[in-house]
Structure 1
Amino acid sequence: MRAENITGPVAHHGEGPVWSPTWGGLRFVDMMAGDLLTLQPDATVARRHVGDYATMVRPRSRGGYVVGLERGLALVDDESPDSPVRPFPELWSDPTVRLNDGSATPDGAFYAGSMPFDDRAGAGALYRVEPDGAARLVLSGVTCSNGLGFSPDGTLAYYVDTLTCRVDVFDYDPGADEPLANRRALVEIPREDGLPDGLTVDAEGGVWVALWGGSAVRRYAPDGSLTEVVELPASHVTACTFGGVDLDELYITTSRLMIGEPFEPELDAGSVFRVVPGVEGLPVLPFAG
């Protein structure tokens, strides 16, 4: 299965695609530019600069959206381009560590993961942010906190710490003292196949994982078996999400980071791709803050 380039190169480091009807379709980030990008009907993108970094974005249940900045989350109340960006308190003060990826949860909280700029082992973490902005550490010793998604029934959380070369699965119980429990590997990916990056979960419980350096997105069944491969003409595949009116299209972001100009032969790097994979996705989980 091969994905179609629908935008051409529009981002240096495209990441975090999310489909939401509240903002009219697909939104993603150009992370190091600090920009939110919204896909327009003519396949161009509208940009909004939100800070030095724009690391992730999700809709809010009360309207507007939550966006990840360098070291914390911020709220935007509506879709107008001049609606202010209102930061929560930073999650940490260390300037050598930044946010990288995360997701809202089935119960309306937000999990935000970090990574060090120099990739030093164990310097990142995963935080749980409540709707009122209160935050606590839920996972330490992380090197590159990346994709996070939940099973259709909300009882499992799938998670990537990229340099482990694994997709892990936790039991998820938001009412427990430790909401993420019983960590185990769903799948181990050979390093030469690419490093696991962002992920999304479909309505059948399949886990779609972008492979940085692997020119592909792979689907793994809930038992860890490989069931589908989407090929791309760009090596640095960063993340994926389901979208379209029926959530039956898979949108995939890519990056030019660490390729080097003039980006040949990867002229498609930094583009958004689309494929119809034959399965539907799950609606995006909104943040209740």
Structure 2
Amino acid sequence: MKNMKLQILDATVNIIGESPLWHPLRNTLYWLDFPNKTLFSYHLQQCVKTQLDEMATAVAWIDHEHLLLATVTGLYKYHIENKNKELIINIEHDIETNRSNDGRADPWGGFWVSTMDVDAAPHKGAFYRWYKGELRTIVSNLSIPNGVSFDKHRLRAYFSDSTAQKVYTLKLNEKTGWPESSPRIFYDFSDSDVSPDGAVVDTQGNIWIALWDGSSVVCLSPQGELLYSLDTQTKRPTCPAFGGTKASTLFVTTASYELASTPVKSVTHGVTLQFTDVHQGSFEPAVKV
């Protein structure tokens, strides 16, 4: 943390940048600007944009050649080089007023993905888990389900409801990763004007949470104590991810959605950031397809 430095990784202005993912086999950062149906890749200081045929809101990696994309119609196996995608499973594709939102691979090789009403209506959102060909609803009656992340050592899953301004936790089965408890409140932001968005867990079990409208990424201990707050210098950070060759860089996507072009401080809304030498993170696990 002493040598931590904030830098703009890529100056492209995203409407809502989301789901940063470091692919450890390709040493490449991926992220999405889902309103623009755009997949970004960043490798060797070069950023490449790929236009998708539908809106994708979350990304994970499967192997060297493939990503998993969570889109408005379901989960897809996406070939990085030839851009072809193969349907894995449909999720709420028949509910025209809903779309996908947050998603992340879990340490057992499963994938969690949330859905929500396009206008964020209450009680219309849910989290699902896809694992070994089975799709189950994990939690429902949410508004904007976000921030899914995992602590395998403590057998925990975290998620948030951005509208309720709360972060929740679930106990997971050691062998399968399926939940074994009902959600309980882990941290409550409702006495503030910020909303918890994307999140990631480091090697010590601390959870790093992007605060929409909070201009920061906060770090909470496994006991729910506030340890750090990183100033993103832009109003709407959306999601953090560890990466780099040693997983010690914290990448942060941001949003320009409904914001004037004038930056809060020195950073333009919607750019993609990196904090170097932040903490010891770990690489995201692969999804087993």
Q: Secondary structure at the match of 1:6?
A: strand
Matching residue of 1:34: 37
- Alpha-carbon contact 2:164-2:190 (below 8 Å) kept: no
- Displacement after TM superposition at 1:176 (Å): 7.3
User: What is the correspondence of 1:78-89 to structure 2 with a 5 Å cutoff?
Assistant: 78-80=79-81, 82-89=82-89
Secondary structure of residue in 2 paired with 1:3: strand
Q: Residue 263 of structure 2: which of 248, 262, 265 is its match? A: 265
Matches within 5 A, 1:150-165: 150-153=150-153, 155-165=155-165
State TM-score, norm by structure 2. Answer: 0.91
Task: Check if 1:25 corresponds to 2:28.
Answer: yes
What is the distance in 1 between the residues matched to 2:238 and 2:63? Answer: 26
CA contact (8 A) 2:117 2:143 kept: yes
Superposed displacement of residue 56, structure 1: 0.8
Identical residues among aligned pairs (%):
24
1:114-166, Cα deviation, whole Å (9 max, x unpaired)? 1111111110111111343x322121111111111111426111111111211
Q: 1:129 to 1:147 in 2, by over 3 A?
A: same
Aligned partners of 2:61 and 2:11: how far apart in 1? 26
Distance change >3 Å, CA 177–CA 150, structure 1 → 2: closer
Q: 1:183 and 2:183 equivalent?
A: yes
For 1:1-289, list aligned pairs within 5 A: 3-42=6-45, 44-61=46-63, 63-76=65-78, 78-80=79-81, 82-92=82-92, 93-132=94-133, 134-153=134-153, 155-173=155-173, 179-190=179-190, 192-260=192-260, 263-266=261-264, 268-289=268-289
SS at structure 2 position matched to 1:12:
coil
Work out the CA distance in 2 between the residues paired with 1:24 and 1:85. 22
- Over residues 148-198 of structure 1, what are the superposed CA-to-partner deviations in whole Å (9 max), with x where a residue is unaligned? 111142611111111121111110117679625142222111453410000
Give 5+ residue unaligned stretches, structure 1.
none
CA distance in 1, matches of 2:83, 2:177: 36
Bigger shift: residues 226-235 or 89-98: 89-98
Q: Secondary structure of 2:10's match?
A: coil
- Partners of 1:66 and 1:245 lie apart in 2 by 22
The code of the aligned residue for 1:126 comes to F
Q: Secondary structure at the match of 2:113?
A: strand
Conservation of the 8 A alpha-carbon contact between 1:3 and 1:275: yes
Return the alpha-carbon distance in structure 2 between the equivalents of residues 19 and 176 of structure 1: 24
Shift of 1:35: 1.5
Q: TM-score if structure 1 supplies the norm length?
A: 0.91
- Structure 2 residue identity aligned to 1:37: F
Task: Describe the shift of the 1:178–1:41 C-alpha distance in structure 2 as closer, same or farther (beyond 3 A).
Answer: closer
CA distance 1:12–1:55, shift in 2 (3 Å)? same
- CA 1:103/1:279 → structure 2, altered by over 3 Å: closer, same or farther? same
How many correspondences in the alignment?
Answer: 283
Residues 233/176 of structure 1: CA separation in 2 closer, same or farther (3 Å cut):
closer
Query: How far did residue 244 of structure 1 move?
Result: 0.9
CA distance in 2, matches of 1:90, 1:152: 27
Provide the secondary structure at the position in 2 that maps to 1:95: coil
| Equivalent position amino acid for 2:162 in 1 | T
Q: Which amino acid aligns with 1:22?
A: L
Higher share of residues assigned strand: 2
